[in-house]
Structure 1
Amino acid sequence: MSRFAPLRTSDLSPAIWRHALAIRFGHCDPAGIVYTPQYFHLFNTVLEEWYAQALGISYYELIGPRRTGLGYAHASADFAKPARMGETLEVAVVIEALGRSSVTLKLHAFKDGLECARGSFVTVATSLAEHKAIPVPDDLRAAFEAYRDRCGGPTA
């Protein structure tokens, strides 16, 4: 498997939603760099904000009152450069694919304009009552499509 080629922030459309993410003491290992499993927590935190800010749909409303799960069928990450306590990453969210019950997302974490980590997630819509996959709800699908059409993906 070959190493991924890090992007520059300029490789992404300026329309892509981005979130500033502060690296805190609790995210780091004794060496002072982000502990690898913490990236998944950090990426999920960014996605919760993305649903509300970029899509206009409350993540908590989906999971709580609507009982629509947004579980991961796949999650992976690639790393190019460590991030340290006290630094701020800029994380951009790109929709790669939209299926009947799933959405494939890439999260690009940039430090000083260069990608230091990239997360790949396949999220599946589920009924939290039955714990089975369901079609992506119409309003969520429309929000995904509008975001994808507005933002596209990497320009490189």
Structure 2
Amino acid sequence: MAFSMRQKVLFKHCDPAGIVFYPRYFEMMNDCVEAFFDHIGHPFEELHTKAAVPTAQIETTFTAPSHHGDMLDIRLGCTRIGTSSLGIAWHGSADGETRFTASATLVHVGQNGRPLPWPAPLRNTLELHLEGAD
């Protein structure tokens, strides 16, 4: 099951040429991750009281520029789950045109910064959202 969110490209996202400055896409992707965890009933503000979910790896391809005022559709899918890791993929588009694709590995870590297995309730929920899950 994929999760989607809409993001209007705001002035703050743009460089002087009026196109999205690429680091702002990473902020949008992180906002999408946080919204996804809220959507599945495991809000980041609760998860991050005893653990964290940093990005360990990310790969992004920018295929077309986005402009101030564009409405982006950002789709997030879970691609794999490990003991303490989660593979995710994003697809960002506007008006049916792909603007970026990305994949990343998130890692659930404890307060000491070391990998920590996903708590069973969260893991069970994430498994329900794996791409191809029924």
Contact 1:94 1:152 in 2 (8 A): no
What amino acid maps onto 2:41 in structure 1?
G
Q: For the residues of structure 2 that align with 1:101 and 1:73, how far apart are their CA atoms?
A: 11
Paired residue for 1:146? 128
Q: Which residue of 1 aligns with 2:94?
A: 111
1:4-153 aligned within 5 A: 15-53=1-39, 55-64=40-49, 67-128=50-111, 130-148=112-130, 151-152=131-132
Query: Does the 8 A contact of 2:84 with 2:117 survive in 1?
Result: yes
CA distance in 1, matches of 2:98, 2:121: 32
Which TM-score applies when normalising by structure 2? Answer: 0.93
**C-alpha distance in structure 1 between counterparts of 2:81 and 2:29, whole Å:** 19
Secondary structure of 2:46's partner? helix
The structural deviation recorded for 1:84 is: 0.8
- The ranges of structure 1 where at least 4 consecutive aligned residues each deviate by more than 4 angstroms after the TM superposition are none
Q: CA RMSD in A?
A: 1.4
Percent identity over the alignment is 27
Normalising by structure 1, we get a TM-score of: 0.81
Note the C-alpha offset of 1:138: 1.0
Q: How many residues align?
A: 133
- CA positional deviation for 1:152: 2.5
Secondary structure of 1:51's partner? helix
Q: Which residue of structure 2 aligns with residue 12 of structure 1? A: none
**Could you tell me which residue of structure 2 aligns to residue 4 of structure 1?**
none
Gaps of 5+ in 1: 1-14
